[in-house]
């Protein structure tokens, strides 16, 4: 443990400030994730509109991500994160006071732009600015901090309506209580700008020196052709995964509320799931060392599928909570390993574009799945098609991953029968990678 903390200390002040940014910004995102769908329900909207709202939001994210690679390379991660955080906070505040459907959908599009800049830039920032020997530590730690922050945000979002209700003499489950809970969540995300503005070299320089050197080196034709194949596979992988996850992800809290679960309890469920995710996500690199990177990815991406399928037979709050927690853990553990593995196979000049495309395919696929799933749920009252979609498309995403990357390690090294170490699967510090 002492050596672990020593590695963190050695990463420098800017990385420490970035970790503070991640912790604070995701508090507001956690409040938003828990409360906004419930806010829409209080406004009188059904699952069909909730699905459409999430579709617009994630489609906007996806379209923005198509240009993220260019923007990262042109302006650097710091500037992109600042712009995204300001835009996310402003649009979230506006949504707190909007009630008309067309206006909510318009603001969802603006909010998706801000979210794209925040979520997609995290891994590129970590990998570019973290010293090479410590990239694994900071990548896993940043993912864990996200989970911890979302957990705290969910907990805050769950208890604030009751506190606001007491202070304002309103009902705990009312538009007023939910609205001001969301306002406070937006304020928390806005506060995360302070550590970003306090940075030194990261703020004054667009890119790390090592990145500029590597980015200027043009790869040969064979490497470029392989990079195109890898980008296509990464895009397809994200699309399949999004089709599965998007069918159910926006509706966990609504499903629990439909089962009679109080808002405060939903907040506790989300918070407890985040607590578990925080601890378990740090074990991803260790699992990769023990059983091998590809085997770890397959297991992590698929173990939650049987739990979702079990909901077809056992649709209870306990199983829904377990499915939600399992999905959160899966994404938090798998994303750093996936981005590190694929990022290490790509030349530096292609990484920002590749992970921008990965984020775009994820968000566009999620938007399509959320919209279709929301319409089906609203018209039939059944979540079964969503659970089946999780199983089918998550399996397809894993198949693409294994076929495209299963036999290769970074730097075109041959696959070794022994498990790969984290240092072997992480890309060099000058690379960029996306955030899920």
**Residue-level pLDDT at 214:** 55
> To which H or E segment does residue 368 belong?
helix 348-380
Closest CA to 39 of 125, 160, 150: 160
Question: 47-61, 185-199, 288-302: which has the minimum mean pLDDT?
Answer: 47-61
Residues in the chain: 436
CB atoms within 10 A of CB 71: 22
142 pLDDT higher than 70: yes
10 Å CB burial of residue 398 (0-12, 13-18, 19+) is: buried
Query: Using CA atoms, how far apart are residues 251 and 110, in angstroms rounded to an integer?
Result: 21
Query: Using CA atoms, how far apart are residues 48 and 372, in angstroms rounded to an integer?
Result: 9
Q: What is the overall mean pLDDT for the chain?
A: 81
Closest CA to 433 of 410, 414, 416: 410
Query: Using CA atoms, how far apart are residues 103 and 108, in angstroms rounded to an integer?
Result: 8
Closest CA to 16 of 150, 186, 118, 137: 137
Question: Residue 249 carries which DSSP code?
Answer: G
What stretches of 66-220 show up as alpha helix (H) in DSSP?
68-75, 77-96, 101-120, 122-129, 135-168, 175-191, 193-197, 201-204, 209-215
62 pLDDT higher than 70: yes
pTM, two decimal places: 0.70
Query: Using CA atoms, how far apart are residues 410 and 283, in angstroms rounded to an integer?
Result: 21
197 Cβ contact list (under 8 Å, min separation 6): 82, 203
CB atoms within 10 A of CB 31: 30
Q: What is the pLDDT of residues 156-165, one digit of tens each?
A: 888 888 888 8
The pLDDT-based confidence of 151 (bands split at 50, 70, 90) is confident
**Residue-level pLDDT at 87:** 93
Q: What is the pLDDT of residues 66-87, one digit of tens each?
A: 888 788 878 888 889 999 999 9
The C-alpha torsion from 122 through 127 and 131 to 134, rounded to 10°, is 90
**Residue-level pLDDT at 207:** 66
Query: Using CA atoms, how far apart are residues 270 and 249, in angstroms rounded to an integer?
Result: 12
| SS3 call for 76 | coil
**Residue-level pLDDT at 376:** 92
146 Cβ contact list (under 8 Å, min separation 6): 22, 26, 122, 332
56 Cβ contact list (under 8 Å, min separation 6): 105, 108, 109, 112, 367
Residue 153, token pair as written in the block: 């945000």
- Give the largest CA-CA distance in the chain: 68
The pLDDT-based confidence of 217 (bands split at 50, 70, 90) is low
**Residue-level pLDDT at 221:** 74
427 pLDDT higher than 70: no
Distances (CA, A) of 32 to 186, 226, 395: 8, 40, 29
Q: What is the pLDDT of residues 98-134, one digit of tens each?
A: 889 999 999 999 999 998 888 877 877 887 777 777 7
Q: Which residue has the tokens 């906004």?
A: 36
Instruction: Map out the domains of the chain as residue ranges.
Output: 12-425
Q: Which class is domain 12-425?
A: mainly alpha
367 pLDDT higher than 70: yes
Query: Using CA atoms, how far apart are residues 413 and 344, in angstroms rounded to an integer?
Result: 11
């Amino acid at each position: 443990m002492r050596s672990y903390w020593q590695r963190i200390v050695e990463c420098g002040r800017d990385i420490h400030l970035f970790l503070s940014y991640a912790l604070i910004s995701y508090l507001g995102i956690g409040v938003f994730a828990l409360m906004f769908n419930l806010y829409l329900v209080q406004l009188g909207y059904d699952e069909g509109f909730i699905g459409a709202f999430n579709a617009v939001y994630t489609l906007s994210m996806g379209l923005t991500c198509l240009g993220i690679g260019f923007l990262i390379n042109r302006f650097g991660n710091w500037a992109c994160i600042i712009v995204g955080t300001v835009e996310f906070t402003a649009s979230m505040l506006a949504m707190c006071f909007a009630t008309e459907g067309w206006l909510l959908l318009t603001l969802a599009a603006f909010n998706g732009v801000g979210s794209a800049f925040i979520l997609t830039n995290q891994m590129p920032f970590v990998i570019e600015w973290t010293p090479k020997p410590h990239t694994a530590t900071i990548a896993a730690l940043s993912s864990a901090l996200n989970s911890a922050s979302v957990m705290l945000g969910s907990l805050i979002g769950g208890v604030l309506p009751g506190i606001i209700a007491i202070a304002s003499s309103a009902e705990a489950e009312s538009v007023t209580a939910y609205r001001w809970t969301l306002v406070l969540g937006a304020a928390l995300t806005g506060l995360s700008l302070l550590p970003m503005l306090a940075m030194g070299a990261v703020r004054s320089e667009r890119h790390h020196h090592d990145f500029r050197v590597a980015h200027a080196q043009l790869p040969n034709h064979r490497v470029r052709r392989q990079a195109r194949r890898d980008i296509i596979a990464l895009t397809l992988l994200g699309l399949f995964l999004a089709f599965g996850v998007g069918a159910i992800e926006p509706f966990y809290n609504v499903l629990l509320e439909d089962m009679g679960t109080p808002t405060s309890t939903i907040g506790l469920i989300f918070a407890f799931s985040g607590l578990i995710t925080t601890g378990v996500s740090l074990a991803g690199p260790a699992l990769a060392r023990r059983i091998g990177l590809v085997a770890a990815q397959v297991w992590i991406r698929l173990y939650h599928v049987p739990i979702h399928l079990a909901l077809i037979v056992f649709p209870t709050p306990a199983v829904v909570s377990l499915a939600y927690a399992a999905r959160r853990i899966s994404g938090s553990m798998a994303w750093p390993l996936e981005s590190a593995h694929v990022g290490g196979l790509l030349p530096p000049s292609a990484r920002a574009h590749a992970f921008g495309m990965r984020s775009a395919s994820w968000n566009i696929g999620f938007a399509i799945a959320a919209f279709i799933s929301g319409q089906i749920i609203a018209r039939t009252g059944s979540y079964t098609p969503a659970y089946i979609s999780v199983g089918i498309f998550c399996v397809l995403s894993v198949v693409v991953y294994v076929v495209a990357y299963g036999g290769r390690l970074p730097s075109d090294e041959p696959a070794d029968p022994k498990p790969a170490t984290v240092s072997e699967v992480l890309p060099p510090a000058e690379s960029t990678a996306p955030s899920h």
